[in-house]
Amino acid sequence: MFMHLSSCVVERIIEGRRDSDRSILHHLEKDTAAYYTILGKNTTAYYTILGKDMATYYTILEKDTAAYYTILGKDTTAYYTILGKDSGDYYTVWERNRSILHHFGKGTAAYYTIWQRNHSILHHLGKELQHITPFGEGTAAYYTILGKNTTAYYTILGKDMATYYTILEKDTAAYYTILGKDTTAYYTILGKDSGDYYTVWERNRSILHHFGKGTAAYYTIWQRNHSILHHLGKELQHITPFGEGTAAYYTIWGRNRSILHHLGKDSTEHYIIQERTEQHITA
């Protein structure tokens, strides 16, 4: 594959690898040809990293956590460069090849291309969405949440929980309890209280709808199969995800773990990332 690239592209890719602040290649610890294949030209190879060859995935997310940390928050300038603020490579690798960011903000046509016809990135995580519209009753709802207003999208990610409340149809207090203060409220949303579960999640076809339609399916997905983290290379064989009770829940989410811990980040780095990200958003 590398042999088929033009010399111009090869030079750009090699230059990108040498520049640790501009190129994600450095952080992924992959050769330039493999990286180019993963992100643009060979979705099978991408699937390999996310599901079949977990050793490679461990390399990306665990073995070089310092570099990964740089991408996610320590050097926000480099992060913006990678995602497309001023990088020529962004247009070559991501936008021209219809990256996930491209599809999360371009409109209905792109939405259908990635989510329905090609089953979306969730397909790579083990869920085929062949006939269900994710994140909403229709594309209009999805577009409102993820693409119509990028300011609101940043708000969703942590600046203003009132907007997040709009999407979950929950108040901000409930959201905070979801993340670590009250496992009972968390259970209410995820399936312990079937009435609220169906009202918020299934009827509105949220992403969790695709991971279980009720309490029974919920246990099937999250307990027997060890949750979505299993698909990302982390088997939680002896821990019940999200908690049978407060103790188990706090072990994973509240006390010192969090999802980033399971992806190769300890809680200290997580809080540093979160703090600096919030500062950046505020600024």
For residues 23 and 89, state if they share a domain: yes
Most trustworthy range by pLDDT among 75-84, 86-95, 125-134: 75-84
Split into its structural domains, the chain has a count of 3
The pLDDT score that the predictor gives to residue 276 is: 36
In a domain, 155, yes or no: no
Q: What is the pTM of this model?
A: 0.12
Residue 159 maps to a domain: no
pLDDT of residue 165: 37
On whether the CB atoms of residues 243 and 254 are closer than 8 A, the answer is no
* Whether 30 contacts 38, CB under 8 Å: yes
User: Does 175 share its domain with 247?
Assistant: yes
Q: Are residues 80 and 113 in the same domain?
A: no
Question: pLDDT tens for residues 223-260?
Answer: 332 333 333 333 222 333 333 332 333 333 332 233 33
195 and 242 share one domain: yes
My answer on whether 176 and 271 are in the same domain is yes
Report if residue 161 sits inside a domain: no
Cβ-contact 278, 158 below 8 angstroms: yes
Q: Taking a C-beta distance cutoff of 8 angstroms, is the pair 239, 35 a contact?
A: no
On whether both 175 and 255 belong to a single domain, the answer is: yes
Is 10 inside a domain boundary? yes
Residue 35: enclosing H or E segment and its boundaries?
A: helix 32-36
Q: Is residue 247 part of a domain?
A: yes
- Both 118 and 35 in one domain: the answer is no
pLDDT tens digits for range 13-57: 434 333 333 333 333 333 344 443 334 333 344 434 343 333 343
Average the pLDDT over 195-221 and give the result: 33
Q: Which domain holds residue 106?
A: 98-148
